Amino acid sequence: MTFSAPIQSLVQQLGIIAKEREIERYRRDWAVAVKLEQVSFTYGEKSEDTAVLRDMNMHVPRGEFVSLLGKSGTGKSTVFKLIAGLIQPSNGQVLVEGEPCEAGRVGYMPQKDLLLPWRTVLGNAMLACELSGGDRKLAKSRALEWMARIGLEGCADAYPHELSGGMRQRAAFLRTMMTDKDVLLLDEPFGALDALTKREMHLWLLSFWEQMQRTVLFITHDLEEAVLLSDRVFVLQANGAGQPQQLRIDLPRPRKPELVHTIQMLDYRKRLERMIYAQHD
Ligand SMILES: Nc1ncnc2c1ncn2[C@@H]1O[C@H](COP(=O)(O)OP(=O)(O)OP(=O)(O)O)[C@@H](O)[C@H]1O
């Protein structure tokens, strides 16, 4: 079929506009690493009234370090299980880099370490490489280098039952970092560590993140830790509903541990405390 010149030009222009819109949409989607849209979730067969999450929306920008805060039971770990594709929302959708989430798409360190007891620390760290058929030699040298940096030097051949709680936590953390996934979910990774070790782990994680620029979601109850590490903090609502409140942490990088003694830290802490505790139960 042939059209007159003006109609042809109009069709062409519409085509260009549609393409531009598609590119714009693609650009917008690309900028968001994790997206929760109107997500609801209830454990078991309970009614809507007992939903842990209700119509929750959350956008995590690509490459950011984002912490999730909130009182116990507000659904932080549930959000991680949804993003990791271990459970499915009752309503709404969870997208990871624009795709519906599925198991194995993100690196996930659950609250309870799931180290394989029959594998050594090195064996656990090498798991992701073995599953993906990656370069074993490279993975081994990287695992050994990172072990030294996170205080697990000399533990390569130890089994999980031979480690202290804090060492197990670091081994599980290492295994997650070794997954090479663009999105990492860390559920209270340093919860069992003493203050000094925690400080060292912060330094290591900050330098790792600054070099790798991966998207990290981090659950913690430690407000200083959240401010020190994050670009943005989401505070989950007490009834798991709606849009979590968020606070941008506009502090320059690289961040130094001395930051915890500054007036800015105090100010951010106060604001986060207000956001967490001013909520109604
Ligand atoms: N497997 C499960 N079956 C039934 N209920 C569950 C299950 N896991 C969690 N819950 C409930 O869901 C709610 C949210 O739990 P979740 O662990 O996501 O909260 P959280 O904010 O991570 O808590 P915390 O800060 O204490 O780790 C809680 O009331 C909890 O009891």
The identity of residue 165, as a single letter, is G
What pLDDT is recorded for position 281? 47
User: Digits of tens for pLDDT over the chain (281 positions)?
Assistant: 666 888 788 888 888 877 777 776 666 666 889 999 999 999 987 666 678 999 999 999 999 999 999 999 999 999 999 999 999 999 999 999 888 888 888 999 998 878 999 999 999 999 988 888 888 999 999 999 989 988 899 999 999 999 988 889 889 989 998 988 999 999 999 887 888 888 888 888 888 888 888 999 999 999 999 999 999 999 998 766 678 999 999 999 999 888 989 999 999 999 999 999 875 54
Q: 């073995």: which residue's tokens?
A: 130
Q: Which ligand 1 atom sits nearest the alpha carbon of residue 75? A: 18
Please name the helix (run of DSSP H) or strand (run of DSSP E) that holds residue 65, with its range, or none. Answer: strand 65-69
Task: Calculate the alpha carbon distances from 203 to 18, 41, 95, 207, 257 in Å.
Answer: 46, 35, 30, 6, 7
**Among 266, 268, 189, 213, which Cα is nearest to 235's?**
268
Helix axes 165-177, 136-149, angle to 10 degrees: 140
Ligand 1 atom nearest the C-alpha of 188 is 27
Q: Give the binding-site residues of ligand 1, using a 6 Å CB cut-off.
A: 43, 52, 70, 72-78
3-state secondary structure of 56: strand
Tabulate helix, strand, coil % of the chain (nearest 5).
45, 20, 35
Between the CA of 74 and the centroid of ligand 1 the distance, in Å, is 7
| Cα 148 from chain centroid (whole Å) | 24
pLDDT at 2: 66
Model ipTM over 0.90:
yes
Identity of the amino acid at 146: W
- Residue type at position 158: A
Nearest atom in ligand 1 to the alpha carbon of residue 240 is 14
Residue 79 and residue 58 in contact, taking contact as beta carbons nearer than 8 Å: yes
Candidate from 39, 41, 43 with most ligand 1 atoms within 8 A of CB, to mutate: 43
Bridge-based pairing state of the strands 183-187 and 107-109: parallel
pLDDT of the residue at 250: 95
**What pLDDT sits at residue 10?**
81
